[in-house]
Structure 1
Amino acid sequence: MRKVVLFMHVSLDGFVAGPNGELDWISYDQDLMDAADEIVKTVGSPIYGRVTYQMMENYWPTLLNNPESTQHDIDHANWIEDIGKIVISKSLKEVRWNRTTLINENIAEEIGKLKQEPGKDLVIFGSPSIAHTFIDLDLIDEYRLTVSPIVLGRGTRLFQEDKPTKRLNLLSSKTLPSGVLVLHYEAKKEQ
């Protein structure tokens, strides 16, 4: 059975985006790119919310014919073009990017069906609103977090206030030279 994994960059104080959605605080260097590439190897289908999906759809295909693209950019762009993508959105009525499935209702039921299919994991990339929905629906099996050594003070939180306690088992941790922590947790399912 496939797992639902949340992959998210987080500030030390628990924010996943700045007050205006900015991500420029992430210490994205070669070590973090390598850590992210290891997670990408586990992906059977990426899951996006509408905003992240539209950002990805408008960005990655342009790199395939861009002479300034690095080999890493081209490899990732080819990967994302070829892989089956899942978009969770109530506002989108259709998706045009190849190999994309739109889920706009019965999220828990539809994700449950996808988990039963053979293959690699279903991984949420960014998409804080989808992360919140999946956390509320208790759909996340593992958390793959990179914690940047910065305190933002405000923005979009990963874990919202006034929600039930979530217990996690630490599966692995690694400290990168930049001070970024790469954490891998398994969600304990409440009995």
Structure 2
Amino acid sequence: MRTIVAFEHLTLDGYASSEQGTGFEWTHRAYSAELAEYTNHIQADFDTAVYGRETYLGMYEYWGSQPTADSSPHERAHAEWVNALDKIVCSTTLTSADWNNTRLVSGNLTEEFTRLKGEAGDTIAIYASPKLVHSFLDLGLIDEFRIVVHPVVVGSGTPLFPDKTALELDLIESKSFDSGAVYLRYRNA
């Protein structure tokens, strides 16, 4: 059976996005070459990416036009990987998803993702999309969390875990980086 993972970058105070700018500028300071390389390990078993509408639009806008002549070797490799990846957008407002290998899901998440978990394949990963993570948490669909905690406090934004979320988790992997970021991998207990 396939696993559904929430892959998130978080602030030290638990926010998956802030209220400033695009909401993710705080990731740049600690996103070192070391962390970028380790990200390949973190997502090595992912074969399907899941996005909420906002994350999908941002990812498609940037990665859908990559790589460019100015892309670094890491950006070039990641662009090839993400453009080839199967992608699912969960949205009730989008009417199409134009990025290659992308399909739109607007119906029953429990039915759709229970079916997907039963199919052959590797890990299904929700990227960012904290509001979608909230829906998946409510439905009991997330099996694992892969979280990079950044050494920054933003004070407000969208938390990864909404109020009154209670989970028991087992730590299965951790790693700290020279930039001050820390990777934590938890599975449901």
Q: TM-score range by the shorter chain?
A: over 0.9
Measure, in 1, the Cα distance between the counterparts of 2:158 and 2:64. 28
What is the number of residues matched between the two proteins?
Answer: 186
Matched, 1:70 2:60: no
Matched, 1:160 2:162: yes
Structure 1, residues 116-144: CA drift from partner, whole Å, max 9, x if none? 11111000111111111111111100000
Matched, 1:43 2:43: no
In the TM superposition, residue 30 of structure 1 has moved relative to its aligned partner by 0.9
Measure, in 1, the Cα distance between the counterparts of 2:157 and 2:102. 30
Measure, in 1, the Cα distance between the counterparts of 2:108 and 2:85. 23
Percent identity, aligned pairs only? 37
What is the alpha-carbon root mean square deviation over aligned residues? 1.2
In the TM superposition, residue 74 of structure 1 has moved relative to its aligned partner by 1.7
Measure, in 2, the Cα distance between the counterparts of 1:83 and 1:162. 34
> 1:161 is paired with a residue of what secondary structure?
coil
Runs of 4+ in 1 over 3 A off after TM superposition: none
Structure 1 spans left out of the alignment, 5+ residues = none
Task: Please say if residues 88 and 102 of structure 2, whose CA atoms lie closer than 8 Å, have aligned partners that are also in contact.
Answer: yes
2:107 matched residue in structure 1? 105
Give the structure-1-normalised TM-score. 0.92
Measure, in 2, the Cα distance between the counterparts of 1:172 and 1:122. 18
Structure 2 spans left out of the alignment, 5+ residues = none
- Equivalent runs, 1:6-45 vs 2, <5 Å: 6-20=6-20, 21-26=22-27, 27-45=30-48
In the TM superposition, residue 35 of structure 1 has moved relative to its aligned partner by 2.2
Measure, in 1, the Cα distance between the counterparts of 2:119 and 2:23. 35
Structure 1, residues 108-165: CA drift from partner, whole Å, max 9, x if none? 11001111111110001111111111111111000000111222211111111133x1
Measure, in 2, the Cα distance between the counterparts of 1:22 and 1:92. 21
> 1:67 is paired with a residue of what secondary structure?
coil
Q: Which amino acid aligns with 1:53?
A: Y
Structure 1, residues 18-66: CA drift from partner, whole Å, max 9, x if none? 12342121221112112211122110101111111111111113223x2
> 2:65 is paired with a residue of what secondary structure?
helix
Measure, in 2, the Cα distance between the counterparts of 1:162 and 1:40. 29
Structure 1, residues 52-111: CA drift from partner, whole Å, max 9, x if none? 1111111113223x2111122122111122121111111112211121121111101100
